[in-house]
Structure 1
Amino acid sequence: MGLTKKIISPTDLRQWASSIAYSEILNLINSVNNKLISQPIQNNLVYSKAISLVCEVLDKLQQAVSDYPPEEQPQRFGNKSFRRWFTWLQENAISLCSIIFHDHGTTDFSDPPISYTEALEEVAGYLTESVGNSIRIDYGTGHELAFLAFLTCLFKIKILQTQKTDPDSSTANDLLAVGLIIMPKYLTLVRLLQTTYRMSPAGSHGVWCLDDFQFVPFIWGSSQLIGCQKYDPTVISDREVAEREKDNYLLFSCIAYIY
């Protein structure tokens, strides 16, 4: 059962904004945001096996790009080889996501009540939607939202967890790793796709006056800088600072990518 587009009118949008799914995705954004306060990206961060498996899948998506090099073509934007890579993803999304489901066997998920097959298909669907549009060869915040839905599903079926059984465990909370491990890896993937296949920003003008493909890393990145004594808001447009700190803070990563 594939995903079906449901938001096609202003009425649909109002219904979406009052839905449980909307609240759950917003809760994920806020929960990760709270965990990221004053937390730079850490190379030595210890994280759960589930986080490692999500990273493994994102790595496989990135590695597959080399199998579909861009074509020589006159168009400035939208290299058609992206469609070949995207077709590969569509054909392999189920098997890729089954890697993430590895420790759960093929048992159904009881909370919420959903079969293993349904859960796998939905998670794979959101992952596929999170990398861009194969017809327009563009990428925007709607695709970023699909990735947030992908992560929200993993939390709902308890593959990713906000609290594990051992509260003292260094891997007791996957929320921090979503912000510091998963999001940087996802950004690396989609930026590779954007540059390799010359994808245009969905809507052509970026999002909400931000000259970028993304939105959420600006939110989470600003949370990382709360309490930071080293920088104040005046350095946001400083190219040298962005280049120096792009591997430590999501916001500076976004600014460096714009430059």
Structure 2
Amino acid sequence: MRKMNPPGDVGDGIQKSDAPILPPNHRFMEPEKVVKSVTDMAIWEKSEAYMEYTGFISTLNEAVKGKPNSVDCKVSESVKNIVGMLEKINNLIDECPPIAQPQRFGNAAFKDWLNKVKNNSSQYLQKALDPKIHSAVPEIKIYLEESFGNSTRIDYGTGHEMSFVMFLCCLYKIGCLKDEDNVATVTLIFNKYLEISRRLQQTYRMEPAGSHGVWSLDDYQFVPFIWGSSQLVDQPRIYPPVKFLEDEIVDKYAEEYMFLSCIKYIKEVKKGPFAEHSNQLWSISAVGSWSKINQGLIKMYKKEVLAKFPVIQHVFFGSLLPIRRFSIQK
């Protein structure tokens, strides 16, 4: 089985391997929610899924260090197919316009949109993936379907974002994406996902899931701040980091750097002084380097997202991201 980097500080490097991704007799399974109580969190934090997931975050973090979205990188057919699939999902929003309703938040048309995604997810994935790995579809489609929000609460948060990153991780584990796709996975695939997520939030007025208010990093996202801060390492045009608070810098470079696109989005949807509605980000702007910000955000992510039961209770575990205890000798 392909090994992702174990969790650690930024700079772990990207592992290369020509070994088969999965054994030919690998048995896929429909993933399930396993973390049922706070005491189960210890199982999650020692699990193979945790090690794979945090290693995957670190690997892609290293891959995009100092690289803008427009960087010249390999764009494989697999990457194009996944982006094309996401565009189909994006187009479904046009088929489900918001309905007239009295409440301000949570437009019920989102339920129709998500139903369309679930009804088409298997077909979309089969078209995007090599027929040799179609047997993985029943397992990985759950992660895709859980990536966009909850249809009952009509909300979206870091747990849904986590599901999409797990979906990407699974694409690597089944051999759809490879090491050479690392940069494009962030700059093309994940950016497309962000575009869809923001459109959903705006179109259906989705509420934040489990928001901590102004003391949270952001109401909806976290991972783009990690990978986005890595993109800004050693970028003299946005240095020192406090420059990300300047409207001129944000407007000029938002399309090139994921971190700045997040700041631009926040400024568009929130009113009032930035220091008041985004206090955590305001505090981060005082840190002296993007490298320190990046390392700090990874630690914060593990503490504020991956260590929180309200998030992890909704995570699915299967054969690709198993809950079994991580063992170095596999």
Please tell me the TM-score bracket, short chain as reference. 0.7 to 0.9
In the alignment, is the contact (CA less than 8 A) between 1:206 and 1:213 conserved in 2? no
- State how far apart, in whole Å, the 2-side matches of 1:43 and 1:32 are: 15
Q: Deviations over 1:169-210 (max 9, x none)?
A: xxxx11111111111101001101000000011014369621
Residue 198 (structure 1) aligned with residue 205 (structure 2): yes
Structure 2 SS opposite 1:76: coil
In the alignment, is the contact (CA less than 8 A) between 2:74 and 2:181 conserved in 1? no
Residue 140 (structure 1) aligned with residue 148 (structure 2): no
Out of 92, 99, 108, the residue aligned to residue 71 of structure 1 is 99
- Kindly tell me: are residues 75 and 43 of structure 1, through their superposed partners in 2, closer, same or farther at Cα, counting changes over 3 Å? farther
In the alignment, is the contact (CA less than 8 A) between 2:106 and 2:155 conserved in 1? yes
Tell me the residue number matched to 2:63: 35
Tell me the residue number matched to 2:325: none
What residue identity is the alignment partner of 2:52?
E
Q: 1:116-135 alignment to 2 at 5 Å?
A: 116-117=134-135, 119-135=136-152
Q: Deviations over 1:207-227 (max 9, x none)?
A: 962133100000001101110
TM-score (norm 2): 0.69
Residue 98 (structure 1) aligned with residue 115 (structure 2): no
- Kindly tell me: are residues 33 and 236 of structure 1, through their superposed partners in 2, closer, same or farther at Cα, counting changes over 3 Å? same
What residue identity is the alignment partner of 2:247?
R
In the alignment, is the contact (CA less than 8 A) between 2:60 and 2:186 conserved in 1? yes
Cα drift, residue 14 of structure 1: 1.5
- State how far apart, in whole Å, the 1-side matches of 2:253 and 2:47 are: 38
Tell me the residue number matched to 1:167: none
- Kindly tell me: are residues 93 and 218 of structure 1, through their superposed partners in 2, closer, same or farther at Cα, counting changes over 3 Å? same
Gaps of 5+ in 1: 110-115, 163-172
Gaps of 5+ in 2: 1-28, 268-330
Tell me the residue number matched to 2:232: 225
- State how far apart, in whole Å, the 2-side matches of 1:208 and 1:214 are: 14
- Kindly tell me: are residues 89 and 27 of structure 1, through their superposed partners in 2, closer, same or farther at Cα, counting changes over 3 Å? same
Cα drift, residue 239 of structure 1: 2.6
In the alignment, is the contact (CA less than 8 A) between 1:81 and 1:197 conserved in 2? yes
Tell me the residue number matched to 2:286: none
- State how far apart, in whole Å, the 1-side matches of 2:261 and 2:35 are: 31
Tell me the residue number matched to 1:154: 171
| Deviant stretches of 4+, over 4 Å | none
Residue 256 (structure 1) aligned with residue 273 (structure 2): no
Cα drift, residue 44 of structure 1: 5.1
Q: Percent identity?
A: 42
In the alignment, is the contact (CA less than 8 A) between 2:73 and 2:183 conserved in 1? no
Out of 72, 79, 84, the residue aligned to residue 56 of structure 1 is 84
- State how far apart, in whole Å, the 2-side matches of 1:8 and 1:257 are: 34
- Kindly tell me: are residues 133 and 206 of structure 1, through their superposed partners in 2, closer, same or farther at Cα, counting changes over 3 Å? farther
